Amino acid sequence: MSSWMRCAFLAPVLVVAVLFVLYKTRLEEREPRLAANQQQRHRANITSERSELIATCTALLQGEEAPAREGGDNGDPAVLLQPAPAGVPCGEYVRESHYVTMPLSAEEAAFPLAYILTLHHEFRTFERVFRAIYAPQNLYCLHVDERAPAAFREAVRELAACFPNAFLASRAEPVVYAGISRLLADVHCLRDLQASAVPWRYVLNACGQDFPLKTNREIVRHLKSFQGHNLTPGILPPAHAVPRTKYVHREHIVASPATVRRTNALKAPPPHNITIFFGSAYVALSRQFARFVLEDPIAVDLLKWSMDTYSPDEHYWVTLNRIPGVPGSMPEAKWEGDLRAVKWSDMKNHGGCHGHYLRGICVYGPGDLNWLINRRSLFANKFELKAHPPALECLELRHRERALNESEFPIQASWYL
């Protein structure tokens, strides 16, 4: 192996090693050990909760009625496998919440990922998502809606403070559904991630109500198969999407709820004679493409032009990725990528929603589990832990067991849910 190839291989490994040292230092600074009797009591509780959850999940996956649970706080359905409570020292929180604190394979260590997570509510749901996608070699930018409740913002800040590879976005937007603020939240995080020394290969964006259907290793292998190309599913705009970029739209933040409204004013043509495409807001982008987005005049001008459009995150990424010559572009791509499993209310090919619909998207219930585990997609959207606990917890238990079964290295007891 030549010297430059050795350097290319060792660089990400060294960064992971440094992150792990920082991680251990952070924990040791803030971690009083639990007494032996407390640890024993916690393990017993987890065993009982885990057994109950396994029985529930087994019944649901076999199409049977799940065993009844007692109600939780405020009459909500009971939630099992609770993370450690807020306010405990970081070391205790990480251990008792069962975070995986080492890479599970050399392949994953050498291929770090970056994540953009946009958040505004449902902290307990987000906490489960973060626990599932967390790996010490990866990097996580958390954008919290500027208008989110103070308690929610503080909870996210406290969680991020326990991990050296997680941080809050340097700039927060007051996010309006379908507004430019949603795209700007991603762009702010992208800029922060691009400035990091961590040699991440791809960045994926997600929200706090997504959940991974694939393990980190499976996600790495899926992305590697595209050989540096960006995944931005989409096509030329169908008729219903044309007005989104044909007319000027305005965010109305003072409205309740905040909205984006169309005006009668026509927009100027897109800059640089760009052809506008329509697609998913959820993408996987190479680091070279991220640099293009932040620095190239074509990308910068398209972002400015998109400021007064409707749901610009559904045309911005896919449009740039269809331009020939752009780093990692796929000019002929369509819906390739398998990034998200979503049950839309106007689609009838998914067997119906067994939870409830919100803005035309299914919030999954326990009856959706079999459909979810048979998807090829990397993630599914959307979940609410408080509304339908088994839908999320059964996926979480299955996801963690599959991840640990893939591990090339010894598994620590605290990593089991």
- pLDDT value at residue 44: 40
Range of lowest pLDDT (21-35, 130-144, 307-321, 391-405): 21-35
**Residue 351 zone, left/alpha/beta (φ > 0; ψ -120 to 50; rest):** left
Please state, rounded to an integer, the average pLDDT across all residues of the chain: 89
Distance CA 138, CA 112 (A): 5
Q: pLDDT band for position 14 (50/70/90)?
A: low
The residue annotated as part of the active site, out of 127, 314, 393, 396, is: 314
Give pLDDT tens digits for 334-360: 999 999 999 999 998 899 999 999 999
Which pLDDT does position 17 carry in this prediction? Answer: 53
Backbone phi, psi, residue 206, to 5°: -155, 170
Residue 52 banded pLDDT, cuts 50, 70, 90 = confident
Total Cβ atoms within 10 A of residue 347: 10
Q: What percent of the chain has pLDDT over 70?
A: 86
In the predicted structure, residue 126 carries a pLDDT above the cut 70? yes
Helices (H), 247-388: 287-295, 297-305, 316-321, 369-373
- Tell me the pLDDT band of 30, cut-offs 50, 70 and 90: very low
* pLDDT at site 270: 98
Statement: residue 61 has pLDDT above 80? yes
Judged on CB neighbours under 10 Å (0-12, 13-18, 19+), 240 is exposed
Provide the percentage of residues in the chain whose pLDDT is more than 90: 78
Helix (H, G, I), strand (E, B) or coil at 55: helix
Residue 41's pLDDT is: 36
Digit-coded pLDDT (tens) for 389-415:
999 999 999 999 999 999 999 999 999
What pLDDT, in 10s, does the model give residues 190-213?
A: 999 999 999 999 999 999 999 999
Look at residue 171 and tell me whether its pLDDT is greater than 50: yes
314 is known as an active-site residue: yes
Domain ranges of the chain: 3-230+337-342+382-415
Q: What is the value of pTM for the model shown? A: 0.88
